[in-house]
Amino acid sequence: MTSFLQSISQDQDELRAIREFKQNPFKKIPNQNCGFKYMFHFNFDKTYVKLESLKKLQKHIKYIPLKDLSPRLNSRTFFTIGCIYEISRREQNHNSLLDNPMTILQVCDLHNTKFTIRCDDAPTTLRQFDMIAIANPDISVTLRVKSKEQILRIGHNEKVQHCSQFDPKKYGKDEKCGQYIDIRNGPHCDYHAHNLAMQSGAQRPMLKLAQTQMKFDTPANSPMSSPLHGIGFMHGPSLQLPDNYIQKYLEEHKSGRAAKINKILNSEKPKHQIGAGLTKGDLIIL
């Protein structure tokens, strides 16, 4: 049997190993250069580590998307992933003992979330549009990383561009978009994709019907309500459409997808009748 002192030393070793793992969770992630991969809702055109090992890391520490970061996570162990779209370095101010050299990383999730990372000690191999994993940053208005072991360069994305609504001449002066996106997901950011869909609905009645905001005068007028299920909880305007609205739409859009599907579903099968086409005097063989 192990002595009491031996059991205490084993427990201390385990606690020390857990503490070291939490401080540097990326230490045992092996390097691996591969081609395209899709993981964590990101496209990686190049990978520099074994992403499967990073995926297994979630069994021990939690992965939190960039958009869900908040100061309440400061006392927890976690990691997040982002794309670097800008790198800048601040030199030390010799007139002040408080200002140390620092690397500033601008990262985003290629949707609508951006963060500034202030790094006291950042890896020197980072470049624009690299995909990085960040472990246990201090969260406030910005993210603070004190050690380069907290940042892992995991891959690179070669399809990152500004949203199509970006105007470099007007950026910063008005509301022109400055979001970075992966163009494989479309040329627009989420905000402008939604706006364009709403604008296209003005010319297409079916889209306009789907986009109408739900503000019914009374719940009883809601098309979401049913005599069988009672009054629905969703409220919107009551719209009166002609009975032949769908038929007219299919006739006006004969080459559209809806018309083709309707033709397939409602196609008439040929009727087979015994003796059809025969006349008196025909010779038949049974």
Domain ranges within the chain, ordered by starting residue: 30-91+100-158, 159-200
User: Residue 226: pLDDT band by 50, 70, 90 thresholds?
Assistant: very low
The label of the residue with tokens 């992933």 reads 81
Q: Are strands 102-108 and 46-49 parallel, antiparallel or unpaired?
A: unpaired
User: Residue 119: pLDDT band by 50, 70, 90 thresholds?
Assistant: very high
Q: Please give the radius of gyration of the chain, using alpha carbons only, rounded to the nearest integer.
A: 31
User: Residue 210: pLDDT band by 50, 70, 90 thresholds?
Assistant: low
Is the pLDDT reported for residue 106 higher than 60?
Answer: yes
Of the listed ranges 69-83, 99-113, 131-145, the least confidently predicted one is 99-113
**What stretches of the chain adopt beta strand conformation (E)?**
31-34, 37-39, 42-44, 46-49, 62-63, 78-90, 102-108, 114-119, 130-135, 138-139, 143-145, 151-156, 160-162, 180-182
Q: Are strands 46-49 and 151-156 parallel, antiparallel or unpaired?
A: antiparallel
Of the listed ranges 52-66, 101-115, 250-264, the least confidently predicted one is 250-264
Is residue 190 within 8 A of residue 112, CB to CB? The reply is yes
Sequence-ordered list of residues with C-beta below 8 angstroms from that of 116, at least 6 positions apart, any chain = 104, 105, 106, 107, 142, 143
User: Backbone phi, then psi, for 17, in 5-degree steps?
Assistant: -65, -40
Is pLDDT larger for residue 253 or for residue 235? Answer: 253
What fold does the segment set 30-91+100-158 form as a domain? Answer: OB fold (Dihydrolipoamide Acetyltransferase, E2P) (2.40.50)
